[in-house]
Every structure is written in structure tokens, then in C-alpha cells.
A and B are shown apart, each in its own frame.
Chain A
């Protein structure tokens, strides 16, 4: 069955880089996503990567995909206090179908 795993917590200092890791099991996933959830808010799509790509960069965000190891990471450069939130990794299970989410990584950014 499909499963997505993430570490639960990450704490960094303001200005440092953050790296959030994720592993997944469904090798047929076509897209992999990173969502951000702030307290009391819904999920906001940050970025996504197509499964035939190794890397995608979008301003301060870099996504790395190792399809062989089924490992996905999100790097946030120059992390700010406003980046404090819960970050969810997700994969699409069947085209246009349901998203399978990890349990979320809580990022805490200290001044």
C-alpha cells in the first residue's frame, strides 16, 4: 500500500537553511508535492516536482527527488521566522486521484 513518512520536528536558527525529508513507497507516483500549513489555516501548495525530474528550484525553495531511494527533500534557504509552520510531503496516488500525505514536519525557526 501507499505510505509517506516524515520526521516530526525540525528546529533551525533564522538565516540558516532548513532541510525537510520525506520517503514514500508508491513508485508509480507521477507528482510529489510540498504543502505548508500555518496554525488554523488550510494547506498551501508550496511547490511540486514531476517524477521524471531530479531537482526543482523556486526562489528560496529547492526540491530534490531520488526516485531510486524514493526520497524527497525540501530545502528552504535563508529560513525566516515566517517559515515556521508544518510542512507536508504528499504523493498523488493514481492520476488526478487522492493525495497521500505524510504526517507533517513541524519547522520551528528561532531568531
Chain B
């Protein structure tokens, strides 16, 4: 069974440019998460989806970040415009959403470098 797939794995852009990350969760997983991991830190949640609905986006900087999960499967996270401080690893995770199974499976992440 395929795990969580993310692309690209690496992205280098100049500040003020836009960038987008893509995530394909494990088949059948209704819940999808985007986390940001700064260097030397643990991941921090940006947004959580239940199917196509964003149920927790309280930590998403909405002035420059946006996300979508239009059909409740794949998701895209966008930053426009990027700032130097956005350099981090962006991790996507998914879970089944079942009450007795809340394990989150993580993808390999997209490492973003903003110059």
C-alpha cells in the first residue's frame, strides 16, 4: 500500500515568489493535515481537513497561505508571496478519521528554501 505522497521533495525560490505543494493521502483516509517543521523544531499544524472541509485552520497565516482539498482527496498548500521565514519542511499527514484509530501517517515532506 502506498504511503502519503508529496511533491516536490525540494523547492528553492526567491522571496516574493509564489510556491505550491501537493499531497496525496493514503487511499480511504478522510482526514488530512498540513504541518510546518522549522529547522530544529517539531512539526506544527497549519490546517486540518475532514474530507473537503477545513475544520482547523487557526494556525494558517491567511494573509499569504491558502490550502484546498476540493474533492476530499488530494490537497494543495500555497504560499504567495513567500518570505524568507517560510523556509521549512512542509509535511502532509493523513489518518482514517475513525474514532478508535487516530494514527497519523506522514509523507516525506517538501523542503522549501526561500532566498
The interface of chain A, by Cβ under 8 A from chain B, is 4, 31, 35, 40-45, 48, 88, 90, 92, 95-99, 101-104
| Total A-B pairs, Cβ < 8 A | 51
Within 8 A of A (CB), among B83-105: 91, 93, 95, 97, 99, 102-105
Q: Please give the number of chain B residues whose Cβ is less than 8 angstroms from any Cβ of chain A in the complex.
A: 25
Contact of B106 among A4, A31, A42 (CB under 8 A): A42
Instruction: Determine whether the beta carbon of A97 is less than 8 Å from that of B48.
Output: yes
Q: With both chains docked as a complex, state the minimum distance between the C-beta of B9 and any C-beta of chain A, in angstroms.
A: 9
Q: With both chains docked as a complex, state the minimum distance between the C-beta of B37 and any C-beta of chain A, in angstroms.
A: 8
CA distance A40 to B103 in the complex (A): 21
The interface of chain B, by Cβ under 8 A from chain A, is 4, 31, 33, 35, 40-45, 48, 56, 91, 93, 95, 97, 99, 102-109
Given contacts A96-B31, A98-B56, contact A104 B106 (CB under 8 A): no
Instruction: Determine whether the beta carbon of A41 is less than 8 Å from that of B42.
Output: no
Q: B43 — nearest CB in chain A belongs to which residue?
A: A101
Contact of B108 among A4, A40, A103 (CB under 8 A): A40
Instruction: Determine whether the beta carbon of B42 is less than 8 Å from that of A42.
Output: no
